[in-house]
Amino acid sequence: MVVMKVVARRPVSRARQIVLTASEWRGLETIAYSRTAAYQLVVRARIVLDAGDGHSNNAIAARRGVVVDTVRLWRGRYADHGLGGLIDRPRSGRPPRFTPLQRTQVKALACGLPAETGVPLSRWSSSDLAAEAVKSGIAESISSSTIRRILSGAALEPWQFQSWIFIRDPDFAAKAALVLDLYHRIWEGQPLAEDEYVISSDEKTSIQARCRCHPSLPPGLSRMMRVNHEYDRRGALSYLAAYDVARARVTGHCAAETGIAPFMALVENVMTSEPYA
């Protein structure tokens, strides 16, 4: 009697074939030799380039200092998804600690004035908001850094402020309407004719010619550029200009001083030039 023993062999896994076009090759080389790309992405691009050259997985692992499984992973990812396969897939990560409702309540708190909650402050800081969020029951505990992250997503910075002044003139709307209508070439409800123009004039004073007392020093090793703050005044001029609102034309001149005389010189200059003459 003859006894035959049959041994089943495991199938040998073959490396995925990588065939690169000229454009794919250039794109991978750009990443592989980049000085700003992430190191992991650079290594993955070099793995694919080696695979495109026909190297085996073991040879690529030895060349790039990684394990064979890493080569097999990114070689397969590129074969299936192209260049996008070299990017890490999104991970679930740690679940958010604060609910969307709590985040919204923090934003609403930051948009209100501290006096509305009885806090004796002129404006909120991140630490004050964190303390008030706990006090008002929004969260059991929350840090000031978390407050900043929540508010930065909505571009809120309550610790910054900007001053303004209320308009006190009761006739401001009527007076402003005349000027705004002229900017649209309208006077008393009627459009201006082609030979009628709207010109605005103004002056910029204290245009000084100045020279540094000492030359600036160029930057050096671990040293910023140095500029001396002292300077010599070499005279001052005023620039008077007339601006054609609709045609975006500027007519101007410099004068040694301000007053009615240089202003009338500007008017004369405008009224004697085309198309206003």
**Average confidence (pLDDT) per 10 residues, the chain, 277 residues:** 58 75 91 89 93 91 92 91 87 82 93 90 92 94 93 87 86 92 92 92 85 87 86 87 92 89 94 91
- Give the residue from 84, 28, 33, 31 showing the smallest Cα distance to 51: 28
Quick one: pLDDT at residue 220? 84
Under DSSP, the state recorded for 9 is: P
Peptide bond into 95 cis (omega under 30): no
Which residue in 234, 233, 236 sits closest to 255, CA to CA? 236
pLDDT given at position 10: 55
Q: Are 76 and 44 in contact (CB under 8 A)?
A: no
For 148, the token pair is 């900043």
For residues 143 and 172, give the distance between their C-alpha atoms in angstroms, rounded to a whole number. 47
Mind listing the pLDDT tens digit for each residue in 16-51? 888 889 889 999 999 999 888 889 999 999 999 999
* 87/66 Cα distance (integer angstroms): 18
- By the 10 Å C-beta count (0-12 exposed, 13-18 middle, 19+ buried), 98 is classed as middle
pLDDT at 90: 81
pLDDT for res 244:
94
Residue 92: per-residue pLDDT: 74
Q: What is the pTM of this model?
A: 0.40
23 burial type by CB count under 10 A (0-12 exposed, 13-18 middle, 19+ buried) = exposed
pLDDT at 1: 63
Calpha distance 116→132 (Å, rounded): 12
Structure confidence at residue 269 (pLDDT):
93
- pLDDT on residue 16: 82
> CA separation (Å) from 20 to 52, 56, 186?
6, 16, 65
Q: What are the tens digits of pLDDT across the range 220-241?
A: 888 888 988 888 888 888 999 9
